[in-house]
């Protein structure tokens, strides 16, 4: 996996999409609680965002959501895979490498995921993240995490 986007395109070429993807990947490897205003570099004012924990509409709501999500983050970086682009839509796989004060005592947590993006007028107007919430959160909580890991070991 790479840290920038080189894309596989299907259908007609949209020249702005690779540039937006590069900005998207760069932003998420520089984003922290102190520079959330940078979300406006990539997202439209009417952004619709969804992940396993929340659904928000609008850039202000997205900024507030990320402020909460990043409040206890020590570091968060992404290794992005090769995106697939079809006109103004794309999917991009990633591995998030997260250190969070409340998860595993700040140790590294890795989560596999994929983002579906819709790009309009040079900005991301729709962003949906797909990932296993258990891999991110539940497996990394002190008591619940060990219980879930034991259940997975016995089931698999």
Instruction: Tell me the per-residue pLDDT of 64-86, one tens digit each, with 9 for 90 and over.
Output: 999 999 999 999 999 999 999 99
pTM of the model: 0.82
Cβ–Cβ under 8 Å, residues 109 and 103: yes
Domain ranges of the chain: 8-155
Which segments of the chain have a pLDDT < 50? 2-3
Q: Are 81 and 63 in contact (CB under 8 A)?
A: no
- The pairing of strands 84-86 and 43-51 is unpaired
CATH 3.10.450.50 fits domain 8-155: yes
Q: What pLDDT does residue 140 have?
A: 59
Question: What integer pLDDT is reported at residue 152 of this predicted model?
Answer: 67
């Amino acid at each position: 996996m790479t840290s920038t986007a080189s894309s596989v395109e299907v259908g007609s070429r949209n020249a702005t999409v690779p540039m937006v993807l590069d900005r998207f990947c760069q932003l998420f490897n520089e984003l922290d609680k102190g520079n959330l205003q940078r979300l406006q570099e990539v997202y439209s004012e009417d952004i619709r965002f969804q992940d396993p924990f929340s659904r928000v509409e609008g850039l202000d709501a997205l900024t507030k959501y990320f402020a909460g999500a990043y409040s206890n983050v020590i570091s968060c970086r992404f290794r992005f895979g090769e995106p697939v682009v079809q006109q103004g839509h794309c999917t991009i796989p990633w591995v998030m490498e997260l250190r969070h004060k409340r998860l595993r005592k700040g140790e590294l947590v890795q989560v596999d995921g994929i983002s579906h993006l819709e790009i309009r007028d040079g900005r991301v107007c729709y962003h949906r993240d797909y990932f296993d919430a258990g891999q991110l959160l539940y497996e990394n909580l002190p008591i619940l995490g060990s219980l879930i890991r034991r259940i997975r070991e016995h089931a698999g």
